[in-house]
């Protein structure tokens, strides 16, 4: 965002202001190193270029996507001299789709990039190094994603429906014929979806579509006006052919077209099945999710006589396995609907020692009845903005062991510094490769008092 001033103009020392680099300009660059988000970094004319799709040592032609004074965002459109570390992208849409940003990097190098990002953030923001590093927690690098949102937009000028994924650094929609990161049961649905939606009587009524795979496949259609009986019948027939549940969302919450249908996912290692509804938060990578839960329980090492706290518990992803190994689990979540579904998940799995509460975890815990009595161990899995307010109160809860699961190394590093002030030390940390082919980093850290 441009900085505003009170009307005075100041000329930079040394002459006139350098001309802004126009969006769309092409520039030949020599890439020197890799940024933490997987973009190549180049320098020219006193400006720093961040180039998606470029690797260190490469000569590329890049197109400017955005320019902010001395910082340029660009995308490599031609590679004159390729790095030996480059691989051919397995997906034909990789260079235009906004979903996967590092497919041109071998998977082992993707893991090293994520490990480096976590280590640098902990060191820079928290001044921390774990006593030991855990091996990266990984699963299949393709066919892992069990949930995807499909963008839908009516093109008024051309009178057509665009269906696909958002383009990189753009609101354009890329028509997708295949998606290698999507789980196999959803692939035929994805391929057939554009023809179905384009053939509806009122295609402009479709807002977006979400695909899910758990105990069943499901298709959620978000619509901005009431669907006709004909269009509804077309959607139902489509889902019947693909053996998928149809869910609809207008003004309220998503609802199944057939009220007798239920959707869920399994945690096979613990013999658990958790019900969820489209719109609930679930980890998109089933294999890494189960490995993550197993590692959290291994690190936390709950005992059968211990009381354990699960903060930001969601549907009970950690709480239910913990309840099988602990005397009592207290689980807290900010969204009341999720609390109710988590409690039902505990009941349906025969777990009477897991208790669920709704609370705003950005507030003081002093008056929270569920916090009375303290805890032996804590697991927390906050959203991207972290859990600063609640970690400031950790010492009052008495736990000697704490596992922090993070989807943002920056806030994990910040909160780790606060935990250090609370009397904890960082015993172990490692990355969770929840989103292969992207630069997104998830991590787990173990703290002990």
Which strand (E) or helix (H) includes residue 162?
strand 160-166
Owner of token pair 């290692």 = 269
Sheet of strand 147-155: strand arrangement: 173-174, 160-166, 147-155, 206-213, 217-223, 244-249, 255-256
Residues forming the annotated binding site for [4Fe-4S] cluster?
A: 91, 97, 100, 179
Whether 382 and 406 have beta carbons less than 8 Å apart is answered as yes
- Residue 254 to residue 220: CA distance in whole angstroms: 8
Strands 307-311 and 328-333: parallel
pTM of the predicted structure, to 2 decimals: 0.92
In the chain, what are the domains?
25-86 (2.40.50.140), 112-140+285-448 (3.40.50.150), 147-256 (2.40.50.1070)
> Around Cβ 398, how many Cβ atoms within 10 Å?
15
Residues forming the annotated binding site?
A: 91, 97, 100, 179, 283, 312, 317, 333, 360, 381
- Residue 274 to residue 354: CA distance in whole angstroms: 14
Q: What is the pLDDT of residues 184-200, one digit of tens each?
A: 999 999 999 999 999 99
Q: What is the pLDDT of residues 262-312, one digit of tens each?
A: 999 999 999 999 999 998 999 999 999 999 999 999 999 999 999 999 999
- How many Cα atoms occupy the beta-carbon half-sphere of 290 within 13 Å? 15
Which strand (E) or helix (H) includes residue 414?
helix 409-421
Measured between its terminal Cα atoms, the distance across the chain in Å is 43
CA dihedral sign, ordered 25, 70, 111, 151: negative
Owner of token pair 């699961």 = 405
Task: Please say if 407 is a catalytic residue.
Answer: yes
Which strand (E) or helix (H) includes residue 197?
helix 187-198
**Cα–Cα distances in Å, from 115 out to 99, 105, 122, 344, 415?**
21, 15, 11, 37, 18
Per-residue pLDDT of the chain (449 residues; tens, 9 = 90+): 343 344 433 344 444 556 789 999 999 999 999 999 999 999 999 999 999 999 999 999 999 999 988 999 999 999 999 999 999 999 999 988 888 999 999 999 999 999 999 999 999 987 899 999 999 999 999 999 999 999 999 888 888 899 999 987 778 899 988 999 999 999 999 999 999 999 999 999 999 999 999 999 999 999 999 999 999 999 999 999 999 999 999 999 999 999 999 999 999 999 999 999 998 999 999 999 999 999 999 999 999 999 999 999 999 999 999 999 999 999 999 999 999 999 999 999 999 999 999 999 999 998 899 999 999 999 999 999 999 999 999 999 999 999 999 999 999 999 999 999 999 999 999 999 999 999 999 999 999 99
Residues forming the annotated binding site for S-adenosyl-L-methionine?
A: 283, 312, 317, 333, 360, 381
Identify the CA nearest to 275 among candidates 337, 230, 215. Answer: 215
Beta-bridge partners for 16: none
Q: Is 296 helix (H, G, I), strand (E, B) or coil?
A: helix
Residue of 193, 206, 407, 439 with catalytic role: 407
> Around Cβ 4, how many Cβ atoms within 10 Å?
6
- Residue 198 to residue 209: CA distance in whole angstroms: 13
Instruction: Render 10-55 in DSSP notation, one character per residue.
Output: -PPTTSSPPPPPPTT-EEEEEEEEE-TTS-EEEEETTEEEEEET--
- Residue 182 to residue 286: CA distance in whole angstroms: 12
Residues in the chain: 449
- Residue 432 to residue 444: CA distance in whole angstroms: 7
**Cα–Cα distances in Å, from 299 out to 36, 309, 332, 448?**
27, 15, 21, 11
């Amino acid at each position: 965002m441009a900085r505003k001033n009170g009307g005075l103009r100041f000329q930079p020392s040394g002459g006139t202001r350098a001309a802004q680099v126009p969006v769309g300009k092409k520039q030949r660059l020599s890439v020197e190193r890799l940024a933490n988000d997987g973009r190549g970094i180049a320098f020219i004319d006193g400006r720093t270029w961040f180039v998606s799709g470029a690797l260190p040592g490469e000569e590329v032609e890049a197109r400017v996507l955005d320019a902010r004074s001395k910082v340029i965002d660009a995308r490599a459109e031609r590679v004159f001299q390729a790095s030996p570390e480059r691989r051919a992208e397995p997906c034909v849409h990789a260079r235009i789709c906004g979903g996967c940003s590092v497919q041109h990097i071998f998977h082992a190098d993707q893991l090293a990039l994520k490990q480096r990002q976590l280590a640098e953030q902990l060191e820079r923001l928290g001044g921390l190094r774990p006593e030991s590093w855990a091996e990266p927690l990984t699963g299949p690098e393709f066919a892992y994603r069990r949930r995807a949102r499909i963008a839908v937009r009516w093109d008024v000028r051309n009178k057509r429906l665009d269906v696909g994924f958002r383009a990189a650094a753009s609101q354009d929609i890329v028509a997708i014929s295949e998606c290698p990161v999507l789980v196999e049961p959803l692939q035929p649905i994805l391929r057939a979806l554009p023809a179905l939606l384009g053939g509806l009587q009122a295609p402009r009524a479709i807002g977006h579509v979400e695909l899910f795979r758990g105990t069943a496949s499901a298709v959620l259609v978000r619509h901005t006006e009431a669907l006709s009986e004909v269009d509804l019948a077309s959607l139902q027939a489509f889902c019947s052919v693909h053996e998928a549940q149809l869910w609809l969302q207008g003004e309220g919450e998503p609802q199944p077209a057939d009220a007798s249908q239920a959707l869920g996912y399994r945690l096979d290692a613990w013999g658990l099945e958790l019900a969820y509804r489209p719109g609930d938060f679930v980890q998109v990578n089933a294999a890494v999710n189960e490995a993550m839960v197993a590692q959290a329980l291994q690190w936390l090492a709950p005992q059968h006589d211990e009381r354990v706290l699960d903060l930001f518990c969601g549907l009970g992803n950690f709480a239910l396995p913990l309840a099988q190994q602990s005397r009592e689990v207290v689980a807290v979540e900010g969204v009341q609907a999720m609390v109710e579904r988590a409690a039902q998940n505990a009941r349906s799995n025969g777990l009477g020692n897991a208790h669920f509460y709704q609370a705003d975890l950005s507030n003081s815990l002093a008056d929270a009845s569920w916090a009375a009595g303290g805890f032996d161990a804590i697991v927390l899995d906050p959203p991207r903005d972290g859990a600063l307010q609640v970690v400031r109160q950790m010492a009052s809860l008495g736990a000697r062991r704490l596992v922090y699961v993070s989807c943002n190394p920056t806030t994990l590093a910040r909160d780790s510094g606060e935990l250090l002030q609370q009397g904890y030390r960082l015993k172990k940390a490692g990355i969770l490769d929840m989103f292969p082919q992207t630069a997104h980093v998830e991590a787990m850290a173990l703290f002990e008092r």
